[in-house]
Amino acid sequence: MAAAREAGAVVADGGGAALCPSDGQIALLRQWDGIQSGLRRLSERVLDDVQRATGLAPSSFQVLWFLLTAPEQTAQMSQLSRTLGFTTAGTTKVADRLCEAGLMERRPHAADRRVTLACLTPAGRATATKASLTLADALQERVLSLLGPGGLEALAASVARVDPAVAGEAGCAAPGEGV
């Protein structure tokens, strides 16, 4: 952090000195903005494709996809919150909508009455499958056709290397892992 500050220029701002980013830092920030903005827009577009085909809001699709790929298509409600990054209230709201639509049901855990399980219904499985196939088609058209299989694999590997959930809290590759 100190090295980053030292790289910046100090200019007067009328009320004292202010630190400005260096040219290298500005380039870094622009690259980051391009990455995060581009991925956000791409994600919005492919999830819009899913919503048009299935009527599922992106948050509902995230829950159904998670359950579709979970063992026995069941997960603890608290696990949904943690894995998807939803608040408890947000998870409850999405779960309520999915239960009302007949796509998911809540069940008590057999061994622990304090735990509530989220389970796909047959209709939920069918909807999640249709939504997943729609997403795969959208990714094929919008990503794979442009990057190619090798390009997508490289992008996924690069993102995984800096993802704190994958790479650890430091957000970088573990010692000894290649660059």
pLDDT at site 97: 95
For residue 74, what are the β-bridge partners? 119
Q: How far apart are CA 11 and CA 155, in angstroms?
A: 38
| Cα-based distances in Å from 134 to 128, 129, 144, 151, 165 | 10, 9, 14, 21, 27
Q: How far apart are CA 98 and CA 86, in angstroms?
A: 15
Q: Looking at the domain assignment, is residue 29 inside a domain? A: no
How big, in percent rounded to 5, are the helix, strand and coil portions of the chain?
Answer: 65, 10, 20
Q: Looking at the domain assignment, is residue 100 inside a domain? A: yes
Indicate the pTM of the whole model: 0.75
For residue 108, what are the β-bridge partners? 116
Domain enclosing residue 147, as ranges: 61-155
Q: Looking at the domain assignment, is residue 18 inside a domain? A: no
Q: How many Cβ atoms sit within 10 Å of the Cβ of residue 142?
A: 14
pLDDT at site 176: 41
For 38-82, write each residue's pLDDT tens digit: 999 999 999 999 999 999 999 999 999 999 999 999 999 999 998
Q: Looking at the domain assignment, is residue 109 inside a domain? A: yes
Q: Looking at the domain assignment, is residue 3 inside a domain? A: no
Q: What CATH number has the domain bearing residue 73?
A: 1.10.10.10
Q: Looking at the domain assignment, is residue 15 inside a domain? A: no
Q: How many domains does the chain have?
A: 1
List, in order, residues 6 or more apart from 28 with CB less than 8 Å away: none
Closest CA to 104 of 130, 124, 127, 85: 124
Residues of the chain with pLDDT under 50: 1-2, 4-6, 170-179
